Amino acid sequence: MRTILHVDMNAYFASVEQASNPLLRGKPIAVGGGTGGKRTVVAACSYEAKAKGVKNAMPSWEAQKICPELIMVAGDMNKYIYTSIKIMDLLREYTPLVEVFSIDEGFMDVTDTRERFGGAVAIAKEIKKRIRERFRLTCSIGISYNKLMAKLAGEIKKPDGLTVLRPEDIPGKIKDLPVSDLCGVGGKMEKYLAAIGIKTFLDLNRYPREKLVKRFGAVYGEQLYLMGQGRDDSAVLSGQVEEEAKSMGHSYTLPRLTADLNEVKGYLLRLAEQVGRRLRRDHYKGNVVHVSLGFKDFKFWSKQKKIEDHLDDGYEIYKVAEKILDANPFGGPFRFAGVSLSNLVHNADQMSLIEQKESAKKILKSVDEINDRYGEFTVERAAIMNTVLQKKAGMVSSRAFHYGY
């Protein structure tokens, strides 16, 4: 049986700011795009701020109304990325199988190395101690027999928690946990599940497989059933050995239903820019653009278009996606948008005879270099500056993202 650890940094952005500035420690702080103003949004907040009612993605003016003593701090993505890299390096001292799940969390497969360090609990305690001493940060660690349960275990006690979930603990130890604590169940899915009486892990555990498949389809219905049984066979992907990508994409569940097509296009543009960024980073290009849209009542629509040129420019990808979007037969309201690029070629960059294209490539290269050094979207297109992807709403990304609706 595998032994998986999920390491989740507590209130990461805010905690890094407090660790680097003693004057902020123990005080309610919020990290945002600036130090104030009506357009500033709380990207992350400290536990002291959360205790006052401040929440992530809340407008700063609302947060400061709830908590007048709140200190707004301008985010420093370069600092967060640098610290994250150092933390992940620390985790790799215990196993080479470390999967960076996000900037503030990662999975570790210690199945083959646990005995060398005295067992999984000993590893977790040592990691927590070293992170506290070196970075002045705390983390919550979940230990279990697969990734799904390890992440769920880490949610049970925060901050600074350490929880073990064994097969015999399922479902008894977690029967009352809200189903939204499961990785993959976002706000919208939580509502759909609640509508059929599934609110806790035990509810999902006891719900008949055939009814889940009938309601949510063969793929996702089966996935929900397996989640309810505590089953997950996915491997911890270290990122050091990657399969040749077949497609790259991003999708996003909107924070609310909207019938505004221009708003959806704003999200689609940001998603396409992120796809382009990853394509260039991994030296891929593709010529099949695929757009997926989700509507209320869990209905989806998708369509793809093959073009002549292979692309890695997010804006060029978006222009194709925009034409596909305009052709959707439903019109809205929308709750989900996704864009991917497939039919990829690797290391196939060629100089163009068109001067304008070569100039655009140089600009993209310069932008990538700045963002690599100072953090994602330090430089970005003006058209997407007002489009914010809220983490809580369920943004999904993967190296080989396939849409199968």
141 vs 122, 123, 150, CA distance in Å?
A: 12, 10, 8
Is the separation of the CB atoms in 324 and 339 below 8 Å?
A: no
Is the separation of the CB atoms in 340 and 249 below 8 Å?
A: yes
Predicted local confidence at residue 348, as pLDDT: 57
- Nearest in space to 378 (alpha carbons), one of 386, 388, 367, 387: 367
Q: Which residues of 59-98 are buried (b: 16+ CB within 10 A; e: fewer)?
A: ebeebbeebeebbbbebbbeebbebbeebbebbeebbebb
Please give the Cα distance from 104 to 159 (Å, whole number). Answer: 14
Please give the Cα distance from 267 to 254 (Å, whole number). Answer: 9
The residues carrying an active-site annotation are: 105
Judged by DSSP in three states, 188 sits in: helix
The DSSP string of 255-284 is EEEE--HHHHHHHHHHHHHHHHHHHHHTTE
Judged by DSSP in three states, 113 sits in: coil
- Tell me the two tokens of residue 301: 């629509």
Predicted TM-score (pTM) of this structure:
0.61
- Domains recognised in the chain with CATH numbers: 13-77 (3.40.1170.60), 172-228 (1.10.150.20), 247-398 (3.30.1490.100)
Neighbours of 222 (CB within 10 A): 14
Please give the Cα distance from 397 to 249 (Å, whole number). Answer: 7
Predicted local confidence at residue 81, as pLDDT: 86
146 vs 166, 228, 239, 288, 348, CA distance in Å?
A: 10, 13, 18, 35, 38
- Tell me the two tokens of residue 54: 């401040």
Show pLDDT as tens, one digit a residue, over the chain (405 residues): 999 999 999 999 999 999 999 999 999 999 986 555 555 788 889 999 999 999 988 898 999 999 999 999 988 887 888 899 999 999 999 999 999 988 899 999 999 999 999 999 999 999 999 999 999 999 999 999 999 999 999 999 999 999 999 999 999 999 999 999 999 898 889 999 999 999 999 999 999 999 999 999 888 899 999 999 999 999 998 864 444 567 888 888 887 888 898 889 998 998 998 898 888 888 889 999 999 888 876 677 888 999 988 898 888 999 999 999 988 877 778 888 889 999 888 765 554 434 455 566 666 666 666 655 555 445 555 555 454 454 433 333 333 322 222
- Tell me the two tokens of residue 82: 């640098």
Please give the Cα distance from 374 to 141 (Å, whole number). Answer: 29
Write down how long the chain is.
405
Predicted local confidence at residue 361, as pLDDT: 63
Predicted local confidence at residue 332, as pLDDT: 75
